[in-house]
Structure 1
């Protein structure tokens, strides 16, 4: 792990990080598994994922990434990284996904990439790479998706067996996926039996050849220049899309999409098989979500907002998600806007939502529930305390926590989110959120980061109980679990189901205490999300718990005294 730490610090040193996303990376701290954008193996011994996409990074790629020997996923997508691709990356024998797209990388593709025998997805599109595409890449049998689009590659596209391959936007590249066919063999001149005839035709043929070349170059060269300019312009346009408010065309305000993609309605219609009911993933108050498959094989979730009243929510999600970038937050890929349709496109999460998983059999094991609790907490810490401007999610619940292929928690649905200005502690708004997860103070319109903490506390109790619907909602659930804890009956939360044998009693009690602290009725006494995360990790939970119990006892005594005084006055 020490070698991994050194490698990550070298990566940090070679990049310019304007948003300080890697500020917490500390070379003197030898456990990088808690660092933002870093994921480790289950045994916490090796770094397996490094995801630094959409962080406005510049600088260069450090060759020392190759020292992360167990790295499976490397994503630097949508930044401003320059320089060449280090050939040392070819030594990452476990690498499954490499995404360097939408940067400003130059030079060629290292031939060492042919050694990446585990590589499944390679995305180098939208850079300034040049030269030929190494033919050795086509020998990687695991490759299922390659994208070399919008670069300056030349020559012939190697033959890949990948199901998805794209290389459009390379005017000097020909072959499959490029949009340019390669020239065939030229026809040879007929051989005449008479040497004299050949000699007599030499001058004529030479003259014709010269005239032909002049004519061809006179046409091809300007066309090539124009084509190059068009390709450059198109690449820039793809990175600078913005959308006008689709609901009020007379309003001049625009929402910037930055480098996000703008999809056509026909693309999404085709991807979802005509928004087929069989591809419906879920229906909410704002619209429907469909599973889709883009032409390049990418699996997506398409969220359709057809109600004209959904335009404000549409803009909120665009603004919020384009600002927030964290491995436990759902990444927005792009959007689609027409006069009648609004749609957001996200990566498809193969394991559904926490709500659906908690209803399935067999139930989630304890280790997975802990992973979900920690991942969703880290996402909320980022939104509340590290994102600029800070963001209140507004609808934290099991249905809005999605699970990726590794059962990592991905917080989604920013439709009710709010920016929290630095100068205020809360905002006043209409009642928002989902019944059962709404904090009591929200009913009077008081929304703060502590309302997210309350909702997270309810989620934590559901994870502890292992199900989302147990006959209780909101405060009733809190009161029930609190009573079980006071009567030392928490064991009733754990069935004898074989899948729950991984429970650790101390961890169960800690999570219950953190959940009860998070749902404290005096919202001023609730911990911040960063404190919630620390307590989940075992830091300070007992001290805070005993302090809260003392406050509860004092409040109870005060209420009794008030009642007694009232009774005396009434008797007099």
Structure 2
């Protein structure tokens, strides 16, 4: 009877121990993987910011670049392929390479106990290959070719996968040998497999446990106090396991309820794929074309985020606006607002190619315009910037875009951040309004109270700044400021205004010049002498009328278009 009771409680303890190991491995394993990845990152040199997404404060480690996880958030694959002229021959478009890393491989890689694929080829990695890799029992593919490790392992590429989806025996033996002694004959750059020969006894020896020479004999007698201790300990262990079970799985349930599906790297593309000039776009292709959002590819900053140039091919260049995650209440709001933009199309609005939205990354993809933005155009003031025909065309193009947003979109779209840096140009000085898709959408009402003031200081209408009440007339005010900057040498809040009273801006300055009979001094140097002076005065009066305090006096953008068309010069 004693033996039966002992056997029952031993089985219970064994079950409890195994179950607790599983629980703790599920709760702590993913955290250990994240720590191992961060330690691995610290051992690399990363001049091009390939691992910029490896940030525990902004995302889960399973969404980091090059990392793939299973359903328990355990790392099963780490693929970071370096890229140079030689290595490009090894990888196709379906298996791309990224900018090179450098440094050494941290021994922490040996802590990724669930990893099956470890691929770090064609980087500038040096030093010794960590011996802890041999402890990765589930490793199937190890690709370290094209690096500069010391010793005989400078180019290694082994695989435990056979073509018939069964483990390849020779490769399995090679991996077993690699785990045991790390002595592997390196593969050539063409991945020619030359396996080191060794006796099968080595593998059998590794698999055979050493004999236990001290096995005591005889029977152990159990006393009642020992049985009571075993029972008490088993009850305590059982209660603790129940508590651990509810604690761990309650946390896991809560996490799964917050993140119902694994974050994907999908890209929504609006361009018709049947177009012969279009090319398939994916998340990886776009991000890689921006050089992983590096500063060298940054072409502008705005209130919603930064914009990067993404050259996929010489004939396919895009502008990617990376949004500041957290500006929206959630990706559902983001998807809802973006879906409304599919029907917002006008010749003077930038073309929305597609977008990506997840909890850790949001960006919009637009057509790239080679002429830069109007802010730089005004600063440079090259000869075309002095020609009345060019300046008139820009003013008319922007007015047409705003009239379309205000009059023809349902619901109407208010921009709320009109400024020169949000007006883009092509090589023929056609103007395009950008960032309109990030404005708040209005219904049928003429005004709307917002929760905060959007826009840039100096371009915001006074009634909007004071009351947070926005209407299309706020866009008209901002347009008037842009026109004044376009025709003059002054900025909205020019440094030369510092000698005047507080609140003195380009509007106050233009009114002052008119009242003093110096209207011609408003215009940029040479424009008054070369341009039609009557038309210049009309445009000046239009800009000032757009910026009056009374909303009822400000014209609509439709009226502004009508006036500009009436004084339109001959075509370029």
Greater relative contact order (Cα < 8 A, sep 6+): 2
Task: Give the TM-score taking structure 1 as reference length.
Answer: 0.46
Normalized per residue, the structure richer in strand is 1
Larger radius of gyration: 2
- Give the TM-score normalised by structure 2: 0.46
